[in-house]
């Protein structure tokens, strides 16, 4: 870790974070949840909000892919996903669902403002982002695809979207 110049756990918790919150809306795979934690740690995001049926730490299957990131990344659980989004709106976050919808903005075309705080909603592996949440968002972001499948795995999607946000906010 010293050679890689990585912070220890306490230093990480105290460092400035990327102004992004991940919202996992009914993500059913514990491995996807663990991957979200690990990616959130890698990009030093603010927090993860776990909603509905999304599994919570401590859990063996989450830890298998999180590799300890559940200890470094702040998180909270909300049974009611609408309540979670309402709380973020009150706190002034711009809320975007990562979803294929009419009027969605392609990820590469999305303009990120450095003085805004963002909450990004990633939905269920089969059904996507809850329809009730789609009524509450400021917009939808879509990743262009060119193959035969209609979606990417949610863990891969989280990585692509967070990298784009970090790239535009920090570089």
- 1 within a domain of the structure (yes/no): no
Q: What residues form DSSP beta bridges with 51?
A: 25, 78
- 3 within a domain of the structure (yes/no): no
- 107 within a domain of the structure (yes/no): yes
- 121 within a domain of the structure (yes/no): yes
Q: Name the strands in the sheet holding 105-106, side by side, starting at the edge strand that comes first in the sequence.
A: 75-78, 45-51, 18-25, 118-122, 94-98, 139-142, 105-106
Per-residue pLDDT tens over the stretch 16-48: 999 999 999 999 999 999 999 999 999 999 999
Q: Which two tokens stand for residue 18?
A: 């990327």
pLDDT, residue 3, reads 74
18-25 and 118-122 beta bridge pairing: parallel
**Statement: residue 8 has pLDDT above 80:** yes
Gap between the Cα atoms of 157 and 155, Å rounded: 5
Gap between the Cα atoms of 144 and 84, Å rounded: 28
Question: Distances in Å between the alpha carbon of 160 and those of 77, 79, 106, 114?
Answer: 24, 27, 12, 19
- 93 within a domain of the structure (yes/no): yes
DSSP, collapsed to helix, strand or coil, labels residue 162 as helix
For the chain, the domain total comes to: 1
- 4 within a domain of the structure (yes/no): no
pLDDT, residue 5, reads 79
- 130 within a domain of the structure (yes/no): yes
Q: Which two tokens stand for residue 137?
A: 């968002």
Per-residue pLDDT tens over the stretch 40-72: 999 999 999 999 999 999 999 999 999 999 999
| DSSP symbol at 80 | -
Which CATH number characterizes residue 81's domain? 3.40.1280.10
Gap between the Cα atoms of 166 and 16, Å rounded: 13
The residue range of the domain holding 106 is: 9-170
Of 166, 171, 139, 155, nearest to 24 (Cα)?
155
């Amino acid at each position: 870790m010293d050679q890689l110049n990585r912070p220890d756990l306490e230093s990480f918790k105290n460092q400035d974070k990327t102004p992004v919150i991940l919202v996992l809306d009914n993500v059913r795979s514990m491995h996807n949840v663990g991957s979200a934690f690990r990616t959130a740690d890698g990009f030093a995001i603010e927090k993860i909000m776990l909603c509905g049926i999304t599994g919570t730490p401590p859990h063996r299957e989450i830890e298998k892919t999180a590799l300890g990131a559940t200890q470094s990344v702040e998180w909270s659980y909300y049974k009611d996903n609408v309540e979670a989004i309402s709380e973020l709106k009150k706190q002034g976050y711009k809320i975007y669902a990562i979803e294929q919808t009419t009027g969605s903005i392609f990820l590469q075309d999305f303009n990120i403002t450095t003085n805004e705080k963002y909450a990004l909603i990633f939905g269920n592996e089969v059904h996507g982002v809850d329809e009730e949440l789609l009524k509450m968002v400021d917009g939808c972001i879509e990743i262009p695809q060119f193959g035969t499948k209609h979606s990417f795995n949610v863990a891969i999607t989280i990585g692509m979207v967070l990298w784009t946000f970090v790239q535009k906010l920090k570089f």
